């Protein structure tokens, strides 16, 4: 990040405050650093090297630039705006600036666009796509896909699971989600069986040291290092291609997990707990039912529809 020493120091102090005082997760800190880096670069390109002197007009133009010139989606622009607001609120609270220029910035409308979902048949194709002909790590890939779909896990969650987080007897995982929040997620029989097989037949050959250098992570790469989010994305995409499926990414499995639960009659509060959502509103956004399912529910559960059905049966 190229900016003057004052702004650079404030930037570092802000991230330190977020890490130590607020206890924010590493991924959140990375997002803050990335968003502010773009803001500082934008200001520097316009001969404004000190971000602490930015005006509301400067910040408004930056948000407009992200939306129009960079063509970022509303959700991404909203996240940038949230970062900017937090940063300048902190500058104002610490006395670094006399007035908060971000306090009146308007939040762009964020349409709640749902990610794609797969049918149960397509999901079966995906989780069964890893095979011995695809390489020696096919057991790891199969276990990873079964866990992601069986537990509705994020990419960042599945790659941080440790061996001791898998409880075969209980049929559950101890998962650490956003903000370091932990939850227990029950998983199905296929996920249990394939994970146990991977642990017995594949993982021992991947371990390069017994001193815990691999962090005791469950899923390892060919070099014995823990998988990261990028690797999980690549593996999901590769196995989706083997299965003949397009536009599939890790969150597709998580969204399909939630959708299939709702379609199967699961209570939305239960789905919220399984996904690790703090708010039920988030669960409502990430779970939906098909139009056919809605029609079926309306026909079977709505009192008027039920009455009409009874009348028709009597008439017959």
pLDDT tens for each residue of 123-166: 999 999 999 998 899 999 999 999 999 999 999 999 999 999 99
Q: Rounded CA gap, 304 and 301, in Å?
A: 9
What is the structure's pLDDT at 170? 92
Identified catalytic residue from 32, 42, 72, 286: 286
What is the structure's pLDDT at 316? 52
**Range name among 71-75, 92-96, 99-103, 213-217 with the lowest pLDDT average:** 71-75
Name which CATH class applies to 5-93: mainly alpha
pLDDT digit string, tens, across residues 85-136: 999 999 999 999 999 999 888 765 555 555 678 999 999 999 999 999 988 9
Identified catalytic residue from 162, 178, 183, 225: 178
Give domain limits for the chain.
Answer: 5-93, 120-277
Q: Rounded CA gap, 98 and 77, in Å?
A: 26
Higher pLDDT, 288 or 258: 258
Q: Which residues pair with 183 in a beta bridge?
A: 175
C-alpha dist (Å) from residue 179 to 34, 79, 122, 155, 263? 18, 16, 32, 15, 29
Q: Is 251 a catalytic residue?
A: yes
Q: What is the DSSP string of 150-166?
A: HHT--HHHHTT-BGGGE
Backbone angles phi, psi at 184, to 5 degrees: -100, 125
- Which residue in the block uniquely carries the two structure tokens 């960079």? 70
Instruction: Find the mean pLDDT for residues 70-94.
Output: 89
DSSP 182: E
Instruction: Find the mean pLDDT for residues 29-43.
Output: 92
Does residue 1 surpass a pLDDT of 60?
no
Give the alpha-carbon dihedral of 245, 255, 153, 146, to 10 degrees.
-40
Q: Is 277 a catalytic residue?
A: yes
**Range name among 184-188, 195-199, 259-263 with the lowest pLDDT average:** 259-263
Percent of the chain surpassing pLDDT 70 = 85
Q: Is 302 a catalytic residue?
A: no
Pick the CATH number of 120-277 from 3.40.1390.10, 3.30.428.10, 1.10.443.10, 3.40.50.2300: 1.10.443.10
What is the structure's pLDDT at 199? 96
* Burial profile 145-164: b = 16 or more Cβ within 10 angstroms, e = fewer: bbbbbbbbbbbbbbbbbeee
Percent of the chain surpassing pLDDT 90 = 54
- For residue 139, the tally of other CB atoms under 10 A from its CB is 20
What is the structure's pLDDT at 116? 75
Backbone region of residue 176 per phi and psi (left: phi > 0; alpha: psi in -120 to 50; beta: other values): beta
Identified catalytic residue from 10, 254, 255, 260: 254
Q: Is 254 a catalytic residue?
A: yes
Identified catalytic residue from 10, 140, 217, 277: 277
311 — pLDDT class (breaks 50, 70, 90): very low
Instruction: Find the mean pLDDT for residues 294-307.
Output: 62
What is the structure's pLDDT at 200? 96
Q: Which among 122, 169, 163, 129 is positioned nearest to 145, based on CA atoms?
A: 129
Q: Is 286 a catalytic residue?
A: yes
């Amino acid at each position: 990040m190229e900016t003057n020493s004052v702004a650079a120091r404030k930037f570092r102090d802000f991230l330190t405050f977020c890490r130590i005082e607020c206890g924010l997760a590493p991924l959140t800190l990375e997002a803050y650093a990335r968003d502010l880096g773009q803001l500082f670069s934008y200001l520097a390109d316009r001969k404004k090297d000190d971000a602490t002197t930015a005006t509301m007009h400067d910040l408004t133009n930056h948000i407009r630039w992200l939306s129009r010139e960079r063509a970022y989606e509303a959700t991404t622009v909203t996240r940038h705006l949230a970062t900017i607001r937090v940063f300048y609120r902190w500058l104002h609270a610490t006395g670094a600036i006399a007035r908060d220029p971000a306090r009146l910035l308007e939040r762009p409308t964020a349409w709640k666009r749902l990610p794609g979902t797969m049918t149960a048949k397509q999901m079966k194709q995906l989780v069964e796509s890893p095979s011995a002909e695809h390489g020696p790590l096919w057991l790891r890939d199969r276990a990873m896909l079964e866990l992601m779909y069986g537990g509705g896990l994020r990419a960042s969650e599945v790659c941080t699971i440790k061996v001791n987080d898998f409880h075969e007897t209980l049929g559950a995982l101890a998962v650490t989600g956003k903000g370091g929040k932990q939850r227990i997620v029950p998983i199905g029989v296929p996920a249990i069986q394939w994970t146990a097989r991977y642990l017995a037949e594949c993982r021992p050959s991947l371990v390069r040291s017994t001193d815990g250098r691999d962090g005791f992570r469950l899923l390892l790469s060919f070099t014995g290092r823990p998988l990261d989010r990028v690797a999980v994305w690549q593996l999901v995409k590769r196995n989706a291609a083997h299965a003949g499926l397009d536009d599939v990414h890790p969150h597709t499995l998580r969204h399909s997990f939630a959708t299939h639960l709702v379609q199967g009659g699961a209570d939305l509060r239960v789905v919220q707990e399984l996904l690790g959502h703090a708010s039920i509103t988030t669960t409502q956004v990430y779970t939906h039912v098909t139009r056919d399912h809605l029609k079926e529910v309306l026909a079977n559960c709505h009192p008027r529809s039920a009455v009409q059905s009874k009348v028709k049966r009597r008439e017959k």
